[in-house]
Amino acid sequence: MDAVAGSPLGWLCAGVTVLFGVTLLCTAKRNLMEKANVLVWSLLPASLGLLCVAPLGAGGGLGVFCATYLLSSLYLGGRVLLPVGDKAVLITGSDTGIGHALAKYLDKLGFVVFAGVLNVNGPGAEELKQTCSQRLSLLQLDITSATQVKEAYVKVSEKVKNTGLWGVVNNAGILGFPADGELLPLSMYRQCMEVNFFGAVTVSKTFLPLLRKSQGRLVNMSSMAGGIPLPRYAAYGASKAALSMFSGVMRQELSKWGIKVAAIHPSGFRTGIQGTSDLWDKHEKELMEKLPADTRQAYGEDYLLGLRSYLLRIPTYCDADLSPVLAAVLHALLAKRPRALYTPGKGACVLLCIFCYFPLWFYDFFISKLMNLSQGR
């Protein structure tokens, strides 16, 4: 072993390891646990490479070193976070839910936050004023209004100036009224697409010049329903699937400017996206009024009346702790090598894997049983 350590291979492994470790330690957050983690993964390639020299020879040891070095680089590159510094981030849909929690979270970490809200005088906006620092700026931002998006761009560009905007988080979205695709009026499909897809595209296109200046991040809040088919989410799921595909294409096209794009596919979280009882009444009335008589007869009155009870039960199956989603967005914003897709929450990754790798009949059977359980059958 001493002879190996003093050989050219040993010196090569040691030199690359030291350079690799020092570089990562300089970029790692000032946290003892993280620095210890970096040191372990930095020393692993050299250790394995040297240990394999005896049984495999110098060439085999070098091969093991290179392979382990590559894996360590990929692993640590995904874990090391860039410093917050004076990075500025725009978040849409900050009145409630994930957007509201994310605005508070990023403000606490030291980001310059631009919180876009549907009502700048509403309770959500007022709470952000009272609880967040002076770095946070509220923006009146209905993402379906081209005028308000342009006005927000002017205000943000005036504040960030030549620095550019580090991140845009397209979070604003609506659920609509969960019901079978045949039952939903076309207006519901159009509304979901207008907010969940076209609104996000409008914001992205408008703010891309500022992201290009900073070589920043575009983060799109999609949904588990945007990656897998779920009964009763035809309108919502289709709009989120469109957003996910948009994210993938933008990731490819914007990479030449150093802009990184990520899509977040959360599972069920309690965000209030289902809306208020007044909104349910409006959607239910619209659905019932436009329902053809033969369709009403085919589904039956009991089934139609049960749609609202399903909507009321949604929160009971959702997680109130939003921290997995917040952590995913933070990683997408600051990771040296962010992932293209994040699946925070219970079951999101599992269901996606079942859909991608199992026969479709099995997925359909599994989802039908799961949905029947959530519907109280």
Q: Virtual CA dihedral for 278, 283, 288, 292, nearest 10 degrees? A: 170
The amino acid at residue 125 is A
User: What are the helix (H) ranges across the chain?
Assistant: 2-5, 8-27, 32-51, 53-79, 97-109, 123-131, 146-160, 186-192, 200-214, 234-254, 277-289, 293-299, 301-313, 323-334, 348-357, 360-374
Active site residue 236: yes
Of the listed 69, 153, 236, 342, which one is catalytic?
236
Strand partners, 57: none
What tokens appear for 148 in the block? 């308000």
DSSP per residue, 200-255: HHHHHHHHHHHHHHHT-EEEEE--GGGTS--TTBHHHHHHHHHHHHHHHHHHHHHG
Q: Are the C-beta atoms of residues 228 and 343 closer than 8 Å to each other?
A: no
Q: Are the C-beta atoms of residues 343 and 275 closer than 8 Å to each other?
A: no
In this structure, what are the phi and psi dihedrals at residue 240, rounded to the nearest 5 degrees?
Answer: -75, -35
Distance CA 58, CA 63 (A): 9
Handedness of CA 206, 221, 122, 89 (dihedral sign): negative
Q: Which helix (H) or strand (E) holds 262?
A: strand 260-264
Are β-strands 112-117 and 137-140 bridged in parallel, bridged antiparallel, or unpaired? parallel
User: CB count, 10 Å around CB of 219?
Assistant: 27
Residues serving a catalytic function are 236
